[in-house]
Amino acid sequence: MNVGFLGLGAMGLPMARNLHKAGLLRAVWNRTAAKSVALAAELRCDAAATPAQLASQCEVMVICVSADVDVLNVVDALLPGIQPGALVIDCSTVSADTARTAAARLRTRQANFLDCPVSGGVEGAQKGTLAIMCGGSAEDFARAQPVLAAMGRTISLFGATGAGQATKATNQIMCAGIIRAVGEAMAFARAQHLPLEQVVETLGQGAGSSWYFVNRAPNMIRGSFPAGFRVRLHEKDLKICRDMAAASGVSLPVVDDVLREYAQLIAEGYGDEDISAIYRLKWRLFTDAPFRNPPSGEVFDLLRSARTIAIVGLSADRSRPSHGVARSLQQFGYRIIPVTPSAESILGERCVPTLAAAVASLPAGEHIDIVNVFRRPEHVGAIVDECLALQLPALWLQDGVVDESAARRARTAGVFTVMDRCIFRDRAALPT
């Protein structure tokens, strides 16, 4: 059996290589000729100059291109060279109507057609383990078995022409819902400060797991989304699903929501990243959320357990609010560390110029429990940076010190953060 392959993209190239390994590949063609010439030289097969030339050499042709119009253009380009009885296998993801149109055009030359979209990503294409969903006649399906078996592991016929594409559309809807849920779950886990690798290792064995969770949650942990299944290609597929559902008078909420999110990713320049890039939007739900102070019970627990409070911006002037607060904190039994370069000592405590110096000044076994800030809001961002670098556990922005962005950043990084509240008044209100 001589097989030709048309479309050497991220999926098509490894699929063609697997056909070569099976001893079936005779010729290749690609719209960008350099790709087909390079692969032909590597595999020692023919690089056809045109689809028609490839069709004249092959009894079976496999197409793997990006869009409906591409499939129909390739089919039209095959027709001048195609032989009666030839079989065209289309592994692209297109609409069921496009599959039926392609089959009708091939019938004018007594050629046959199977729509055989695939699932399993680039990894599945490379390993020859794709799931292949087929539509067409049982006779053509049986004839295609050696070709399909070289590229996939799970191969099923779902009905007449177009049934393979309808099944693939079903798959793409599931992928949309799953990758969206995985993105939200991983953003939630990060916001809860869980050990993310352990989350994937453990939940990957649970009832909520999926291929996307096991194989794409690591992308989310790294914040890197190398193209496997590109956002813009899944968007194209979901538009097909939306249109097919609309023909039944139905809108699909998951599809509509994911299409809206993909449109945002594409507008921001992420269209060629893997669909796991949806995590970018899910994490923003947490980083962009309005800052809210922790529940009073948690604030009181912090004040009960704290022993040492570093006060950034503490003034030596007894008339200043920071001085009165610091004096009151001492009366409640806290040790204070004045963080200010403008004085040598305040309230009997030696001043230090920075939080790093405050940490270094502590005896072994002691630590800073709370950083209390009396600086103007424009200084808060740098103070947060220092808290994060020193891994300090709690940040308290005194009443009047408001920087939501910095407070969110600290909270997101795991720092217990209170904003625009008076630490003295909260301590005075502490239930006995």
The gap between the terminal CA atoms of the chain, to the nearest Å, is 86
CB 294 within 8 A of CB 309: no
Q: Is 429 helix (H, G, I), strand (E, B) or coil?
A: coil
Which secondary structure element, helix H or strand E, spans residue 56, and what is its range? helix 51-57
Residue with tokens 């001893």: 23
Q: In whole angstroms, what is the distance from residue 174 CA to residue 403 CA?
A: 41
Q: What residues does 17 pair with on adjacent strands?
A: none
- Catalytic residue of the set 168, 236, 239, 282: 168
Write the CA distances from 343 to 311, 358, 394, 398, 427, integer angstroms.
Answer: 13, 14, 25, 21, 26
Residue 35 appears among annotated catalytic residues: no
Q: Give catalytic residue positions.
A: 168
